[in-house]
Structure 1
Amino acid sequence: MKLLSFAIPCYNSAAYMEKCIDSILIGGEDIEIIIVDDGSTKDNTAEIADRYAAQYPNIVKAIHQENGGHGEAVNTGLRNATGLYFKVVDSDDWVDPDAYKAMLSTIRSFVEKDELIDMFLANYVYEKEGAKHKKVMRQTGFPVNRVFTWSDVRRFHKGHYILMHSVIYRTQMLRDCKLELPKHTFYVDNIYVYKPLPYVKSIYYMDVDFYRYFIGRDDQSVNEAVMISRIDQQLRVNKIMIEDVDLTKVRNLKCRKYMFNYLEIITIVSTIMLIKSGTEENLQKKKELWEYIKNYDIRLYRKLRKGIMGTTMNLPGKGGRKISVAAYRISQKVVGFN
């Protein structure tokens, strides 16, 4: 059995996918790479995937499917994974070789001891186009280089944000929590990280800069203008996160607190994108979002409104909206928009 399965969702990714794949191949036969060609039609993504599969038959699988979006490509990767652990790497990103070898060695050591950790964490680096200094996102407050549980975490601050980039999950745990991402929807990486968290009993964090997250393309999903144009998908993800996990049933209080903070950030992003669009239609959607939360779970609604940014998200009039946008810059630094 492979130690680690990598899923690489590819959609018209020919310009950059080879850098991604080559960075992962150095793991050798301990790993598998599942390249999911998600209905690419505008370039030779499919041919590149097939070439790697032919060249590295014991490591690379190439799967071609009708376009289903990023989430469905991740679903396909998970369905076909044979590794004990599962990692998603977007086709325009890559991994650092030294950090990668250290992570793989650590995973191997636990497997050899028959000690299966539910979640491995490492740092991710914003490879922001044009930026001289690369921002490193660490898991501040988490114990380093030892197995720990949620109860061992000292505290969570509002900027603590585990992205898909920083996490490696145990494959069977993802299947046990029945993770299934929606098709044709952006921003599903938040569901991917969020839904399994109550199932995580053991965690290991390495303070190494493993994942290199490229950011700067005009068409990138975290570009603010693009997010506003896709606001209905952001709202869909926001609601799925609310509906998929009843936070009152999350037994570990530290895990519950982290998940609330995560949900709060996502709700702030939804609210501010609606405000920043400036259209009457989206201002109405903002009102409807908060009405939805209120009607779905009044306790959650009250907690979000009492949170550090809940009140500022709902101040009336143009002046209130300006304050909301200013407050949003806190979460902007966390998410790392273009």
Structure 2
Amino acid sequence: MPKVSIIVPTYNVEQYLVECMESIVNQTLKDIEIICVDDGSTDNSGKILDEYATKDSRVKVIHKENGGYGKAMNVGLDNATGEYIGIVEPDDYVALDMYEDLYNVAKENDLDFVKSDFNRFVGKDNTLQLFYNKLDPSNKYYNKVINLQEDQKPFYFIMNTWSGIYKREYLNKYNIRHNETPGASFQDNGFWLQTFWHSTRAYFIDKPYYMNRRDNPNSSVKNKDKVMAFKVEYDYILNLLKRDPVLYDRFIYICQYMKFRNYLFNYNRIDVTYKKYWLKIVANEYKQAYKNNEIKENLFPKQEFDKLCLIAKDYKKYYKNDFGGSSLAENIFSVKNSPKNKKHKIITILGLKLKFKSKKLIAKNRQKELENNVSDLLQQIRNLQKKLDEQKIVTQDLNNKFIKQCNESVRLNQQISQLKDISRENLYANILNQTWLESCWVKHKDFTLTKGAANYTLIYILYKILEDFAPKYILELGLGQTSKLTTQYINYKNSEATLDIVEHSQNWIDAFSQKIMKNKNINIYQKDLITVEINNTVSDKYAPLDDITKNKKYNLIIIDGPFGYDRLYPRTNILDLIDNNLSDNFVIILDDAEREGEENTAKLIFDKLDKNNIKYIKSYQRGLKTQLIIASPDYQYITWI
């Protein structure tokens, strides 16, 4: 089974297709399949795909009659065999490491789906302009697992289906597919919402991998005549919701908000000849939604809710306010009889209405003079408008350059930060490798020091503490790479020391214990996870450890479990240990201290130590990940690592 199936729904995109396919076939993740669905293309798109299939066995081309984007996508989904599924639009392209990075994160965290930031772009080569798009402007939801059943804020993120990957098993479990309507008109809305409202394990990454083209003139977004496409799609979405009462109760309000947001987008997008007709549809639907109690005001930004109320109450007035009830030419200059009194005429100049008695307008010379003055005025307006248009072009060009420079600055700052982390990690790696050569008690060096499990920083810090501090009583919360080092310490360095290891998964204990040293002073305990509520948020921790820790005072406590990536207050067993099981001379190591949840737990630790009048010093060590060291003052030198 391939790790990732990449679906490319294709229709008449020959001028962009090679760039797209090259970015996919050259992915650093090689174990992929590429399913290209040619939806009845009338240009050379199908031939281009067939050529790729003859050169690369991973490329599978399905030729079918034109049936629309939704049908093409569903054919691709039904034929996919990968563990995860990605989507690439044929006029876009992707970074070469996109699917390797996303797959690793998805596997490490057992995700329903993972999505990343992306770039929109226009032009190519020397004229390429990138516009960085963040999924989460608040930066609060990146790089952690999110349960979308409990937190609906990500529903406000930019909607797209292509900047991530989805677990195929998850899509099939809930029969998540696209609406099959003709054309390529916004069927991604329904797919996106389904993936969100079923998910309990979503993940967002603050790095752009996907390049989304915005200068394709054939894009459905630019077709001003596709008036009803959004209505068809949201009728489909709401019908799906109504089939499931639980989903309906949970998500109807957010779906009605998103529907209105897209209806406004459609209003601004379509041709002016359809706008009034479209507003009537919006008004009728939201009057009914209000009667059905499907609207929650607090989900709407105030300005949008005010628009909703005005449209529902009087869509004609909204249209009139938007367009003034008359044409642009009439607003510049017109002469009309007064609708109330035929004895007067109304002259409109630049939107300013002047009222005159008719007898003053009868005189031809006066009328001619007025028309000449107006003609001169209109010519001046045209000249000013021309200069204004020229200035707009200059301003837009400067604005685009500024945005490009800002995006480049953000990208460079991100790269600098990543390079600093990598540099620190490499420094620790070099020091650790040199230390291994000099160590008398580290016999086995088969550590897996990766970003996901442990890293060089953590292992080096732990080694120095074991070497210099020589703890006698050690407690390890979480069985993993650190256990390979602590068990060697007991066997080869300090045979009088004892080591207690706590882990919740018996399967993991059975598998991993084969990789570590055994000793009568080494004990591995299985403890189930229990749910706890801290500051009105749900988290989990090991079941009470009293039977393990009774009458014990630990010199060293290593906190690397249970998993804490999706919790706001993870790994809180340490709080009970501070009360009863902390030696006078102690060191505590908290791994993953850069994450929000661990930061919150660290604050609870500090509060508990302060409450118990326990003096301590603290230090943060950073490589690819961050470790927090908390120690009694006598061991301050340990924080100098």
- What TM-score bracket applies, with the shorter chain setting the length? 0.7 to 0.9
Cα distance change on mapping 1:97 and 1:52 into 2, 3 Å: same
SS in 1 for 2:285: helix
Greater alpha carbon shift after TM alignment, 122-131 vs 243-252 = 243-252
Measure how far apart 1:272 and its partner are: 3.9
Q: Aligned residues, how many?
A: 308
User: 2:114 aligns to what?
Assistant: 120
Cα distance change on mapping 1:285 and 1:52 into 2, 3 Å: same
Residue 292 (str. 1) matches residue 285 (str. 2): yes
Asked if 2 retains the 8 angstrom alpha-carbon contact of 1:5 and 1:34, the reply is yes
SS in 2 for 1:229: coil
Residue 312 (str. 1) matches residue 313 (str. 2): no
Q: Which amino acid aligns with 1:18?
A: V
Measure how far apart 1:67 and its partner are: 0.4
CA-based RMSD:
3.1
- Structure 1 CA distance, aligned partners of 2:159 and 2:249? 18
- Structure 1 CA distance, aligned partners of 2:193 and 2:144? 22
Asked if 2 retains the 8 angstrom alpha-carbon contact of 1:93 and 1:213, the reply is yes
Structure of larger gyration radius? 2
Greater alpha carbon shift after TM alignment, 115-124 vs 70-79 = 115-124
Cα distance change on mapping 1:117 and 1:104 into 2, 3 Å: closer
User: 2:72 aligns to what?
Assistant: 73
Residue 229 (str. 1) matches residue 230 (str. 2): no
Structure 2: give runs of 5+ residues left out of the alignment. 325-641
Greater alpha carbon shift after TM alignment, 5-14 vs 138-147 = 138-147
Which of 161, 164, 173 is the aligned partner of 1:176?
Answer: 173
Cα distance change on mapping 1:64 and 1:156 into 2, 3 Å: closer
User: 1:270 aligns to what?
Assistant: 266
Q: Deviations over 1:283-336 (max 9, x none)?
A: 23421343234446734554479933143151515443359xxxxxxxxxxxxx
Cα distance change on mapping 1:202 and 1:317 into 2, 3 Å: closer
Cα distance change on mapping 1:304 and 1:50 into 2, 3 Å: farther
Residue 62 (str. 1) matches residue 57 (str. 2): no
Residue 15 (str. 1) matches residue 12 (str. 2): no
Alignment map for 1:252-271 (pairs within 5 Å): 259-271=255-267
User: 1:327 aligns to what?
Assistant: none
- Structure 1 CA distance, aligned partners of 2:150 and 2:194? 21
- Structure 1 CA distance, aligned partners of 2:129 and 2:293? 41
User: 1:199 aligns to what?
Assistant: 198
User: 1:32 aligns to what?
Assistant: 33
Cα distance change on mapping 1:263 and 1:248 into 2, 3 Å: farther
Q: Which amino acid aligns with 1:36?
A: V
TM-score where L is the length of structure 1: 0.79
Measure how far apart 1:79 and its partner are: 0.7
User: 2:132 aligns to what?
Assistant: 135
Asked if 2 retains the 8 angstrom alpha-carbon contact of 1:294 and 1:300, the reply is no
Cα distance change on mapping 1:301 and 1:138 into 2, 3 Å: closer
Structure 1: give runs of 5+ residues left out of the alignment. 324-338
Asked if 1 retains the 8 angstrom alpha-carbon contact of 2:102 and 2:165, the reply is no
- Structure 2 CA distance, aligned partners of 1:267 and 1:166? 23
Asked if 2 retains the 8 angstrom alpha-carbon contact of 1:2 and 1:29, the reply is no
TM-score where L is the length of structure 2: 0.44
Q: Could you say which structure has the greater relative contact order, defined with CA pairs below 8 angstroms and 6 or more residues apart?
A: 1
